[in-house]
Structure 1
Amino acid sequence: MLNYYYRSDLLSFEKNSNDDIIGKITNSNQFSSTMEQNKSWADQIVILKKALKGHRGEIFFEFSVPRMGKRIDALVIIKGVVFVIEFKVGEHKFFRSDMDQVWDYALDLKNFHEPSHQVLIAPILVSSEAQPVPIEITTKAHDDQLLYPILTNKNNLGLAIQLTLDFYIPLVEIDPENYAKGRYAPTPTIIEAALALYKSHQVDEITRMDADATNLTHTTSALHAAIKKAGNEHKKIICFVTGVPGAGKTLVGLKVATTHQEQEKKSASVYLSGNGPLVAILQEALARDKVKTEALKGQKIIKSHAKSEIKAFIQNIHHYRDAYLIDKRAPYDHVAIFDEAQRAWNKEQTVNFMKRKKGQPDFQFSEPEFLISCLDRHEDWAVVICLVGGGQEINTGEAGISEWLQAIKHLFPHWLVYISPNLTDSEYAATEAIEKLSKEVKVHFDSALHLAVSMRSFRAEKLSFFVKQLLDREHEKASATYKAIEANYPIKLTRDLQKAKTWLKEKARGNERYGMVVSSQAYRLKPYAIDVKSPVDPIYWFLDGKEDVRSSYFLEDVVTEFHVQGLELDWVCVAWDGDLRSNSKGWSTYSFRGNKWQNINKAERQQYLINAYRVLLTRARQGMVIFVPTGDTEDHTRLPAFYDETYRYLLSTGIQVL
């Protein structure tokens, strides 16, 4: 249910005094309002009373948009139309950022607020002192009854509302009571979720809670129970959480980390990930937001100070490891959450790294063995939570989850083990390790530790299944799954990169983020100005706006599976190079060396490459376009034969050509 500061039918709103309305708004505001804010509300009320005179309907002030942590200035319902109105009182110009702001509010309602799905939503930007501009009532090619932002000043708001009502004659009127109480079921990006959790929101406030997604709360509850048990009974417990791509494993980890921050009660926790870009982006996003939030309170805080506070509970796993390599004491934290635990290094990789980079010639542990040993230093209790993705190992030396299980069996049999039953699935490659561990240690299987529904794409929960079937060469299954998702989740195929870029820009509305992703082995896309070796800063790419040439919006810099794993965009172009080629028997895998492609012979590296494309193809929340080059007969590194069969295979699954 969405909340608001003020609600009234339009007839009463017109009759009530302005002071009475402002009083009701300020009484509902949990934060103290400023004189400037009260003046803004007073100006808005005057403008709205004039614009809405003679209409019948309902008005809401400060209508909540929980996923965004924002409030809509005014939401007005007249007949079958919802007007989302953003005021810029005193402003003389219409800025693109303000247009995107009101569009984002309207998009959030359209996508995540159930009563808004089937009604016309008209976002209106009111720059009160701007010169009049032509009022245009238009839509984009989405066919979802969401208008393009309407621009107006204070004098022409009434005209904009009337023109919209003339443009669209609804078949049914909206019941304001049902609208206000309607179910809000958002699926935030991981950055949005981190920001909300850091501000002490609950998981169920910022994510959809329908029947298919309820085990998100079941999983967090199961982990909280394990932590409580360990603390009360002085136990050491390790939990393994599984989930399909985009199911919310990172969200669960961040929820546990933000909840258990009480060092005085010895229950402090830390979220750890070997995914450097993810950690850097989360730290930066939270720090920027902290600076902005404090500024609104009149407090000045520099970003480096804000970031140091955030680093207390979100850290790079390698920095954490190195710190306790030197410090032999028990960690500050009793609870450690290891995201993408399957990517921890095996013994060979870890020992080699320690000798070469850390001057530790006698180091003889795998990364899981050492990390568990750090928590095992606590004399009373400790909890390790491993968040596990299947088929997502993408780098040399990444051991898979079996390395953790072997570590428990050989070195930590006194730890209690709680495992998701799905860890026995083939994609986790852990069945044998679980069987061996079960002979030595009591293993508890808990179905609450599996997240079964993808939350990344609110338009297509089955996207991860389609991608798995596509890459597993299950052609008929992939075709059937594609038919099930194509109405809500567009996937397009093209051999023209410019067409792909244009499609992304046409599809994105408001601040919906789009960008290009490629395999780290895609060395021969240079003729298209795609250079995987060109340095890119993922912080700017993921967080900065449309005015920054380093951002994803410019479609100049690309990111690879190493940058994008664990993160998501709204719309994605996947550029497919000759490193992964379709053939009659399956996939051929290649790496580019010197001036030619060479076969990848090691099965492990072949799987890494396929997994890379699995990551790339599951990054888009709303839709994607796949670009497969035509090749060039005069370039031996880009022959058409390297690409044609892949294009035909993708086309055969039913994906439509752009």
Structure 2
Amino acid sequence: MRGEMKNLRAYYSASIREFLRYSSSEILGVIHSNNISAETTIQQSSAWKEEILVLQEQLRPFKDGRIIFEYIIPRMGKRVDVVVLYKNIVFLIEFKCGDTEYKSSACDQVFDYALDLQNFQKESHNKLLAPILVSTRAPDFSGAICENKRILETIKCNAKNITEAISKVAEKYREPSFDYLLWENSEYFPTPTIIEAAQALYRGHNVYDITRNDAGAKNLSVTTDEIHRIIEYSKRNFRKSICFITGVPGAGKTLAGLNIAIQRSVENKGEHAVFLSGNYPLVTVLQEALARDKVEQGKLCGHHIAKSEALRSTSAFIQMIHKYRDSFVGNANIPPEHVVIFDEAQRAWTHEMIKRFMVTKKGIADFNYSEPEFLISTMDRHKDWAVIICLIGGGQEINTGEAGLPEWFDALRRIFNHWDVYVTSQLKDQEYCHGRSWQNIISGLEIHQYDKLHLATSVRSFRTPDLPKLVKAILDGNVILAQEFYKKISQKYPLVLTRDLNKAKDWVSANCRGSTRYGLLASSGALRLKPEGIFVKNEVSIANWFLNGKEDIRSSYAFEDVVTEFDIQGLELDYSVVAWDADFRFDGNVWTYNKFHGNSWKSVNSSERRLYLKNAYRVLLTRARQGMAIFIPKGSDTDLTRRKKYYDGTYNYLKRIGIHELL
């Protein structure tokens, strides 16, 4: 039977006519033979058998379609239970064998598959997609067939009325014909969130499987390949090397780092690797996401894994940079890792900052290193070879005491000039140089310039790579350039402006379907959003905010908790509401920088603190992958801390750029 051919995209694929001709045992055998990625539990095998029997009964009236079992969705690292291609409509069927109700989470699950195919599979962009949830023992559900942007709302069926549901859809829609085999083998250009990517990589997927492979984003693969080449060279020649990976916001620096860390963590090669970050929310969310996923994967394989055990494992692979650093203070221990990745390395602490921390928190009075210098020194303890990979984001510094890029080079020049230094030409940009000349920064060092280490294309916003350019133009006060970029992206990336918070929330909610994630953002200095019900000083469990579902009021979906630039840097949403306060305001000509202190706004005069405030808004405005609503309050002249003029200037400036108003 033709279904016996190995199929990387599915476990079984055949015409419906052929599917009906063979016994359930024969079809089950093909599915088992193609399932080479993991062991199959008794429960999974039983579920497949039930699905086959149900569909052989329910698809009997349909002779000219095609059926596919376990069709892979690469970005999500998951598979659709069944795809039925009939009357030029793509039916996506998710079975919940034995369920007696239609759970909303299951409805979202199959709807998410449809969204994913529409967004990332080439042959699905213009196809009608019909998600169906089959809860086999649930009662009949009589709902209307509703379509929105070429995807039907999830249809709810039990084991007895799938025929009726498919027939109704096929009668209502007359779709242009297409080649079913071409659809099945269509190119797929996924762009995962960092959480999805980390989960997929940790399960054993390759970065090539879960990322886009179109020309605009290929350099993610090129960059990781170049790093592997440098690591192998260093290993063979007993060299110590430090590499600086640069990239625009959302270009995949963290993804590249995670991929390298996972691939180099091979014990039998003697090269453990660890991913380090000073970004506490990012580390917390990734550790928790990987642990939850490990528990769920264990259930699928029939293995019970305790959450605490899973967290121990993921916490060893992804660590807080400060905890890692402190484990080497006051001793001569050699790190077990030969490869260390420092995410957001520009945020490493200055000598003054870390010295103050060591005195007040650790009781160590004579700590005479900056954080970059000490971190290099720990890897320099290796007698043979070592590689440090610094992931650098320009315009990302948002904390007092962050050393920025120059301190890494100063440390190399002072003590570690025997290290090989690999850089990109982009490091010459003033966003990285902190006012110093590039020649001054690299003076006395032997530099190897490899531009393959730069990630030039944003893959966060898969709808357009130009969002960071628009945001930069806005923050630079360049109206003409901002207008050009807004016109360029407005058809692909919906961006709206409003003075009504509820309208912003309603707009985002209306644009988000399935489990598309959205949430409320504001700067940490936005203290006068409080009258709008936005409390930036509230403590938020960032893992619950990012990972929990719609039913949980602690999740981002509830719009009850706001997160700031400190919480969300390095992470992302699909849609966001960005609430804009008077801390960063446009006065008609230039941006003004303000801090709320006591009962009034004070001007921010420090150039460093001005940079942090500007970068806070850069972070907030580049977090959403698919669309964004900007909310600017109207203010009130009866409240001197919220005068209308504090907000009108910014609103009118964004209007002038052309951003669409929600009235």
TM-score, length basis structure 1: 0.97
Equivalent runs, 1:83-482 vs 2, <5 Å: 83-140=91-148, 143=149, 145-170=150-175, 172-429=176-433, 432=436, 434-482=438-486
Do the aligned residues in 2 keep the contact of 1:238 with 1:415 (CA within 8 Å)? Answer: yes
Q: Quote the RMSD (CA, aligned, Å).
A: 1.5
CA deviation digits over 1:359-408, x for unaligned, max 9? 22211211111111111111111111110000010010112111111111
1:446 maps to amino acid: Y
2:246 maps to amino acid: T
Do the aligned residues in 2 keep the contact of 1:234 with 1:380 (CA within 8 Å)? Answer: yes
Q: Aligned residue for 2:48?
A: 41
1:23 aligns with 2:29: yes
CA deviation digits over 1:117-159, x for unaligned, max 9? 111000011112222121321123xx3x111111122222112
Partners of 1:372 and 1:220 in 2: how far apart?
Answer: 21
Q: CA deviation at 1:435?
A: 1.1
More displaced 10-residue stretch of structure 1: 563-572 or 122-131: 122-131
Q: CA deviation at 1:646?
A: 0.4
Q: CA deviation at 1:40?
A: 2.3
Q: Aligned residue for 1:528?
A: 532
CA deviation digits over 1:402-444, x for unaligned, max 9? 1111111111111111001111122212684641354412101
Q: CA deviation at 1:298?
A: 2.5
Q: CA deviation at 1:214?
A: 1.1
Q: CA deviation at 1:356?
A: 2.2
Q: CA deviation at 1:276?
A: 0.5
Partners of 2:363 and 2:111 in 1: how far apart?
Answer: 55
Partners of 2:271 and 2:27 in 1: how far apart?
Answer: 46
Partners of 1:398 and 1:439 in 2: how far apart?
Answer: 22
Partners of 1:273 and 1:39 in 2: how far apart?
Answer: 43
Unaligned runs of 5+ in 2: 1-6
Partners of 2:187 and 2:434 in 1: how far apart?
Answer: 40
SS at match of 2:201: helix
Partners of 2:537 and 2:634 in 1: how far apart?
Answer: 22
Q: CA deviation at 1:478?
A: 1.0
More displaced 10-residue stretch of structure 1: 557-566 or 341-350: 341-350
Partners of 1:311 and 1:296 in 2: how far apart?
Answer: 22
Do the aligned residues in 2 keep the contact of 1:589 with 1:599 (CA within 8 Å)? Answer: yes
Partners of 2:498 and 2:588 in 1: how far apart?
Answer: 22
* CA gap 1:345/1:371 in 2 versus in 1, 3 angstroms: same
Equivalent runs, 1:50-61 vs 2, <5 Å: 50-55=57-62, 56-61=64-69
Q: 2:650 aligns with which of 623, 646, 658?
A: 646
Q: CA deviation at 1:168?
A: 1.6
Partners of 1:4 and 1:279 in 2: how far apart?
Answer: 34
CA deviation digits over 1:318-343, x for unaligned, max 9? 11111111332221111111110111
* CA gap 1:506/1:555 in 2 versus in 1, 3 angstroms: same
Q: CA deviation at 1:482?
A: 1.0
SS at match of 1:334: strand
Do the aligned residues in 1 keep the contact of 2:404 with 2:432 (CA within 8 Å)? Answer: yes
* CA gap 1:379/1:602 in 2 versus in 1, 3 angstroms: same
More displaced 10-residue stretch of structure 1: 106-115 or 300-309: 300-309
Q: Aligned residue for 2:4?
A: none
Q: Aligned residue for 1:8?
A: 14
SS at match of 1:455: coil
SS at match of 1:158: helix
Q: CA deviation at 1:590?
A: 0.7
1:621 aligns with 2:601: no
* CA gap 1:54/1:455 in 2 versus in 1, 3 angstroms: same
CA deviation digits over 1:270-304, x for unaligned, max 9? 11110001011111111111122223223222222
Do the aligned residues in 1 keep the contact of 2:345 with 2:405 (CA within 8 Å)? Answer: yes
Partners of 2:92 and 2:170 in 1: how far apart?
Answer: 14
Q: CA deviation at 1:18?
A: 2.1
Do the aligned residues in 2 keep the contact of 1:135 with 1:160 (CA within 8 Å)? Answer: no
* CA gap 1:234/1:33 in 2 versus in 1, 3 angstroms: closer
1:544 aligns with 2:548: yes
2:29 maps to amino acid: G
Partners of 2:9 and 2:599 in 1: how far apart?
Answer: 61
SS at match of 2:245: strand
Unaligned runs of 5+ in 1: none
Extract structure 1 runs of 4+ deviating beyond 6 A.
none
Do the aligned residues in 2 keep the contact of 1:423 with 1:431 (CA within 8 Å)? Answer: no
Do the aligned residues in 1 keep the contact of 2:578 with 2:630 (CA within 8 Å)? Answer: yes
Q: CA deviation at 1:653?
A: 1.1
CA deviation digits over 1:243-272, x for unaligned, max 9? 000000001111111111134533111111
Do the aligned residues in 1 keep the contact of 2:409 with 2:442 (CA within 8 Å)? Answer: no
CA deviation digits over 1:510-543, x for unaligned, max 9? 1111100100000011112211111111011111
Do the aligned residues in 1 keep the contact of 2:406 with 2:441 (CA within 8 Å)? Answer: no
SS at match of 1:325: coil
Partners of 1:610 and 1:251 in 2: how far apart?
Answer: 25
More displaced 10-residue stretch of structure 1: 561-570 or 405-414: 405-414
Do the aligned residues in 2 keep the contact of 1:423 with 1:430 (CA within 8 Å)? Answer: no
2:429 maps to amino acid: D
Do the aligned residues in 2 keep the contact of 1:405 with 1:433 (CA within 8 Å)? Answer: no
SS at match of 1:364: coil
Do the aligned residues in 1 keep the contact of 2:39 with 2:301 (CA within 8 Å)? Answer: no
Partners of 1:42 and 1:437 in 2: how far apart?
Answer: 65
1:43 maps to amino acid: E
Q: Aligned residue for 2:608?
A: 604
Q: CA deviation at 1:182?
A: 0.6
SS at match of 2:126: coil
Q: CA deviation at 1:609?
A: 0.5
Partners of 1:436 and 1:473 in 2: how far apart?
Answer: 29
SS at match of 2:328: helix
Do the aligned residues in 1 keep the contact of 2:41 with 2:300 (CA within 8 Å)? Answer: no
SS at match of 1:591: strand
Q: Aligned residue for 2:75?
A: 67
